[in-house]
Amino acid sequence: MSAPLISIVMPAYNAEKFIRTSIDSILNQTYANIELLIADDCSTDNTRSVIESYTDPRIKLHHNTENSGYLKTCNKLLALCQGEYLSFMDADDYSSIDRFAVQLKALQDNPEYAVCGCNLLYVSDAGKELYCSNFVENSDEIRKYMLKGEFHYSPNTFLFTREVGQKAGFYHPYFDRIGAEDYYWTAVIIDKFKIINLPQALYYYRFNPDSISGDLSDNPKKLYSSNVVKRLIEQRNATGTDDLEQGRIADLDAFVAKLTEEFVKDNSVYLKTLAQRSFNNGDKSKAINYIWRAIKKKPFNMAYYRDLLYMMRTKA
């Protein structure tokens, strides 16, 4: 069997501290027929200099002339890929050296699947291993948890066929600079293709749990992006389509406005949201801390106690 080209996209912004490790983890893969498309998104540190210090011809540079954000940069790079298979590598994360060899073999041995993900090994900034995700392994299980608002997958780990991008598209611009674009994208993919998650942890994710609570900013959509995705997934499950596909942006914005109004009235709603986001990001202890704080704000809200019990019983 011939060795198909794998295209890996790497958007980079102020990743000077980590990007060399990230790039090296791709260039040193045991599977060598790759191209690495990198775009520096107008970093203010020395990220671009680090990138341009490499001379490996498999690196293709497509730097941005203005800061475009992660979503737009990903979409630009994905559209430029030449490979039969496509994948991601964040500039502050890194991969095991056999990641693509293992994932490609899984897809070739199981042609009914078009997307292959894997587990994440969460690491500190210093590279200390913290804990491993425990994702379910097939589309049916992934979909079941999706409907609960739980995401048992990490699109950063996906290796997928070119056909996936052609039929499912890439990241939807609605999520530009608010996050959760990859969760919605997976919901679109899973309606058209089968996904498998390998039990191995082949992707090393630098996890800073404190960043979850720092995601407020001036755009309420950032806080409620995961709620938006859950709404869209529920719509797709019920009707086969959703507000975004139908162009009902005003309806989505009204949904976010209602959530924002609830937050303004009751700070416990915000704490509950942070609890859910922390739990979905694998930080069970921080999730429980947030939900306890919500309970202290609203001690007679039984839903918060149910959330607490679920988080205590369930492995993040």
Q: Are residues 196 and 216 in the same domain?
A: no
Q: Are the C-beta atoms of residues 198 and 102 closer than 8 Å to each other? A: yes
pLDDT tens, position by position, for the chain (316 residues)?
579 999 999 999 999 999 999 999 999 999 999 999 999 999 999 999 999 999 999 999 999 999 999 999 999 999 999 999 999 999 999 999 999 999 999 999 999 999 999 999 999 888 888 889 999 999 999 999 988 888 899 999 999 999 999 999 999 999 998 888 999 999 999 999 999 999 999 999 986 544 434 444 446 677 778 889 999 999 999 999 999 999 999 999 999 888 877 666 667 877 887 787 778 767 788 889 989 988 988 888 888 898 899 888 876 5
Look up the pTM and report it.
0.82
Tell me, what CATH number does 29's domain have? Answer: 3.90.550.10
**Using one digit for the tens of pLDDT, what is the confidence trace for 80-102?**
999 999 999 999 999 999 999 99
Q: Are the C-beta atoms of residues 74 and 170 closer than 8 Å to each other? A: yes
Q: Which domain holds residue 302?
A: 212-313
Q: Are residues 183 and 295 in the same domain?
A: no
Closest CA to 285 of 275, 293, 271: 275
Tell me, what CATH number does 223's domain have? Answer: 1.25.40
d(CA 85, CA 72): 20
Question: 266: buried, middle or exposed (CB in 10 Å: 19+, 13-18, 0-12)?
Answer: middle
Tokens 């607490």 label which residue?
A: 308
d(CA 82, CA 47): 25
When divided into structural domains, the chain yields a total of 2
Q: Are residues 266 and 183 in the same domain?
A: no
Q: Are residues 32 and 127 in the same domain?
A: yes
Q: Are residues 161 and 292 in the same domain?
A: no
Looking at residue 35, its amino acid is: E
Torsion of CA 258, 210, 89, 202, to 10 degrees: -110
What does the DSSP assignment read for 94-160?
A: EE-TTHHHHHHHHHHH-TT-SEEEEEEEEE-TT--EEEE-----BHHHHHHHHTTT-----GGG-EE
1 lies in some domain: no
Q: Are residues 172 and 196 in the same domain?
A: yes
**Residues counted in the chain:** 316
